[in-house]
Amino acid sequence: MSTLITSQVVSKDETRLLLAVWDLGGLTTPIQKGKVLERIKRTKEKSSDYESSFESLKRAEAIAIVPGGKRYERISLLPEGIKLLGMGLNSSDFKFEAQIGAKTANALLEWFRQHANLASSSQTNGKVEKAAIMSYDKFKNLALEVYNRLNRDYNYDHLVPIYRIRREIGEKVSRLEFNNWMLEMQAGDVFQLLEGSVEDSALDKIEDSVMTKLGKLRCYAKRVDT
């Protein structure tokens, strides 16, 4: 059902697969392969119909497959997978060939809400009109996407300034929620928040970093699994 991904080409089935892994939370926690297949299989399709899509995305470093036998394999979404998912959804060739369920429709809505907000944030120097992220889980997914993109685009070597993450997310969360949820990500072993000094020691960049409950300044975020 799938061909090997080449530059700028993502098949319809690969796009649907990436969307399912993203929506199920695969950016932060590996998802059982069976759950992904339950989401994407259509009437009369077999699990084996999607093996080439899984392999293609693995070779493209869009997903990682955690071994455990076919029944127990788990799928995690990599930064390249976010990029390819965006390409696939924005392709004029992409369309659903059958009626889709509410879970897939809601996943699409959530994707476009988050990424439309990111585009709006970039165009307005990190400010949007009102908050759009109302839960920790949604914040965690978005914070990881922003972290991965900044780390890739600016070669931060896995030490991404917290002020950059805050400004990219903008006003989709309040300053207090940003602080609390970043600290919660540290408590959950998602981020390690590190001390240090921001470049040029600018006061506004220090203010946009995070202060712990013990009054210690944290200026950089590092993914625990890197």
Instruction: Give residue-wise pLDDT tens across range 98-113.
Output: 778 888 888 888 887 7
Strand partners, 161: 220
Contact by Cβ (8 Å): 111, 88? no
- Mind listing the pLDDT tens digit for each residue in 61-82? 899 998 876 667 899 888 888 8
Q: At what angle do helices 175-187 and 136-154 cross, to 10 degrees?
A: 80
Give the pLDDT confidence score for residue 108 in this predicted structure. Answer: 83
Q: What is the pLDDT averaged over residues 108-135? A: 62
pTM of the model: 0.60
55, 59, 138, 179: CA torsion to nearest 10: 150
Grade residue 59 by pLDDT with cuts at 50, 70 and 90: very high
Residue ranges, comma separated, of all CATH 1.10.10.10 domains in the chain are 12-93
- pLDDT over threshold 80, residue 3: no
- In the predicted structure, residue 194 carries a pLDDT above the cut 60: yes
CATH assignment of 12-93, given 1.10.10.10, 3.30.910.10, 3.90.1150.10, 3.30.70.260?
Answer: 1.10.10.10
DSSP state of 93: T
Which of 92-101, 102-111, 134-143 is the least confident region? 92-101
Checking if the pLDDT of 52 tops 60, the result is yes
Q: What is the pLDDT of residue 165?
A: 96
Residue 123 has pLDDT above 80, yes or no: no
